[in-house]
Amino acid sequence: ELKVEQNPLFLSMQEGKNYTIYCNYSTTSDRLYWYRQDPGKSLESLFVLLSNGAVKQEGRLMASLDTKARLSTLHITAAVHDLSATYFCAALQGGSEKLVFGKGTKLTVNP
């Protein structure tokens, strides 16, 4: 059964700094997703990564996928306060429609 592990679970960083959130998954997956969730709100889709070596960027966020290592990363460049949120990764279970989520990383960017 697919398991998804995210780390760190909590991340406090200063504005202007860079950091990376890691997402490991235990078995083969066809797709890897990243989401943002603000408190009390729904999920906002950030990225879908479909193949080994895929890299996508949007603003200060960049996601990558290494299917051989079963690892995806979400890199934050020059963080700003507006990026404060909880970030989830999710992997699609092979041959299935079931998305398995990580526990989320609560990011706080301090001025």
Partner 1 sequence: EPEVTQTPSHQVTQMGQEVILRCVPISNHLYFYWYRQILGQKVEFLVSFYNNEISEKSEIFDDQFSVERPDGSNFTLKIRSTKLEDSAMYFCENRGIGETQYFGPGTRLLVL
Binding segment (CB under 8 A) for partner 1, from list 16-24, 52-60, 62-70, 89-97: 89-97
Choose among 19, 6, 40: nearest CA to 83.
Answer: 19
Residue the block writes with tokens 């998305």 = 99
**Which 8-state DSSP code applies to residue 28?**
-
| Inter-residue contact 79 to 18 (CB < 8 Å) | yes
Judged by beta carbon, residue 37 or residue 77, the one nearer partner 1 is 37
Judged by beta carbon, residue 6 or residue 64, the one nearer partner 1 is 6
Write out the binding residues for partner 1, residues 27-86 only, by CB under 8 A. 31, 33, 41-45, 48, 50
Residues 91, 102: Cα–Cα separation, whole Å: 8
Q: How far is the CB of 7 from partner 1 (least distance, A)?
A: 13
Give the E-state strand segments of 40-84 in sequence order: 43-49, 55-58, 61-66, 71-76
Using the rule CB under 8 A, is 104 a contact of partner 1?
Answer: yes
Using the rule CB under 8 A, is 97 a contact of partner 1?
Answer: yes
Residues that bind partner 1 (CB under 8 A): 31, 33, 41-45, 48, 50, 88, 90, 96-104
